[in-house]
Structure 1
Amino acid sequence: MNKYKYIIFDFNGTLCDSNKAVEYCLLKTLENFNIHNLKYDIKNLLSEDYNQQEIFNKLAPNTNINNLMNSYKAFYNSGKGNNLSKIYPGLYEILDILKSGDFKIILKSQKNINEMTDSLSFFRLHNYIDLCIAENEGTHDKKHSDIFNDIIKKTYSDINTENILMVGDTEPDIQFAKNNSIDSCWATYGYGNVDKCLSFQPTYFIESLIFLLEILDI
């Protein structure tokens, strides 16, 4: 019998292929500020799953971060962000099966809360999500244990580490599970660094979303 009742999903790289959109908006923002000859490769930064502020701190340390972030949000929210993204094949069918099986679906993302809300609406996913944890002022990054203790456990009184599965594609997702003694499922098709993800010993591996159903025995 399947022991999991709660599935925590990462968004970018796990449910949605958004790297093209993020790269485009980052580059347009840097061009807007005449920033070239980057010290860091954007693809590598995205594989580390840094949030927007951390990425801009690395790409443009001597530029006003708030101005950069506002410019990025303007590009992303102009429609380019969602239009250049796509959900992975079979997602709606898989979420339908999970909901019919009474699983609670939790979304945990580094995306800004407003961007996350817009993306859920654009891709018609909001009705599937029972709890959305996105980046906002005062929240911790998504590998931090306080997300589990201060948000998830307080939302669900019957939750325990044995009935949760974390599904994500990058090292912070697997590290979050490890930090909280939660089983993890590494989405190898996403953006994560292989060596770093493997170093946290994920419980399962999937090469596409459909294989999650085998793990859940449904």
Structure 2
Amino acid sequence: MQPLTYSVGIGDNVFTLFFMIRLCVLDFDGTLCGTHAAIRHCIGLTFDHYDFERPAPDRVDDVIAAGVVIEEALSMLASGCLDEDGAQQWATTYRAFYAEHGLAHTFLFPEVEQTLAALQKGGVAMAIVSNKSEGAVKKATDHYGISRFIRLFVCAPVGIPKKPDPACYANLIAPAFPDVSPNETVVVGDTDVDLGFARNIGAHACWAAYGYGDPARCASMSPAMTIQRFDDLVEGLRMYR
């Protein structure tokens, strides 16, 4: 299938759609919710807490674009000053700050709730797969009223390698949706980590180009679909009918 770009809205007939795609695996940061300001704010608080100079904003932006787990992000931003235990300690502190302050600096992207409702009406099951903690993800999805659409949350599971490693698909997602094949699955995310995850599990890849990923890296992975707004997803999935 050739890569395609869609930039159209949901449309009036969205609730009568039928899709070949049966499972939509959604990233959280930069896909469902705008969390850039929250991440930057809590990274800054973490560096303040340990009396380290805050990293330059462009370095923080680069780390966010890389889509790495917070332990790795903090190690990168601390310029190698943290060993594994130190990175874990800083990550715990970051998560505490995020639990207290994150939601105030977060927003739901336009038309997310309506699009999720449309997908559900079209018979598509939905899961969130994020390298963020489950508590932070569920706090936001509950706050914005979209948890009801999500059948499965896979958020930084303990003892399982993170995206783009396919382990969480094999161990958690596939068993939860045993009748859905990878060819009936689309992964929607804003970074090359998400697109790599789709490739590694044999699913279709949808790049959320409005998010925080590096455009060159994401485009180089030739995703099957590119969306400029989250509500483009419904129209994009028409090609799988």
Query: TM-score range with shorter-chain normalisation?
Result: over 0.9
Query: Are the aligned partners of 1:143 and 1:173 in contact in 2 as well (CA < 8 Å)?
Result: yes
CA drift of 1:105 comes to: 0.4
CA drift of 1:136 comes to: 3.0
For the aligned residue pairs, the C-alpha RMSD in angstroms reads: 1.7
TM-score (norm 1): 0.93
Number of residue pairs matched by the alignment: 217
The reply to whether residue 44 of structure 1 matches residue 65 of structure 2 is: no
* More contact order relative to length (CA 8 Å, sep ≥ 6): 2
CA drift of 1:38 comes to: 3.6
Q: Which of 77, 89, 93 is the matching residue for 1:59?
A: 77
The reply to whether residue 195 of structure 1 matches residue 213 of structure 2 is: no
Query: Are the aligned partners of 1:178 and 1:200 in contact in 2 as well (CA < 8 Å)?
Result: no
Query: Are the aligned partners of 1:3 and 1:162 in contact in 2 as well (CA < 8 Å)?
Result: no
TM-score (norm 2): 0.85
The percentage of counterpart residues that share the same residue type is: 24
- Classify the secondary structure of the residue corresponding to 1:45: helix
The farther-off stretch of 117-126 and 12-21 is: 117-126
* Match of residue 14 from structure 2: none
Cα separation, partners in 2 of 1:209 and 1:37, compared to 1, 3 Å: closer
The reply to whether residue 30 of structure 1 matches residue 51 of structure 2 is: no
The Cα offsets for residues 89-112 of structure 1, whole Å up to 9 and x where unpaired, read as 011111111112221001110101
The reply to whether residue 73 of structure 1 matches residue 95 of structure 2 is: yes
Q: Within 5 Å, give how 1:119-130 maps onto structure 2.
A: 119-130=140-151
After the TM superposition, which segments of 4 or more aligned residues of structure 1 sit over 3 Å from their partners? Answer: 37-40
CA drift of 1:37 comes to: 6.2
Query: Are the aligned partners of 2:19 and 2:123 in contact in 1 as well (CA < 8 Å)?
Result: no
The farther-off stretch of 157-166 and 65-74 is: 65-74
- Classify the secondary structure of the residue corresponding to 1:102: coil
Query: Are the aligned partners of 2:131 and 2:163 in contact in 1 as well (CA < 8 Å)?
Result: yes
CA drift of 1:211 comes to: 1.0
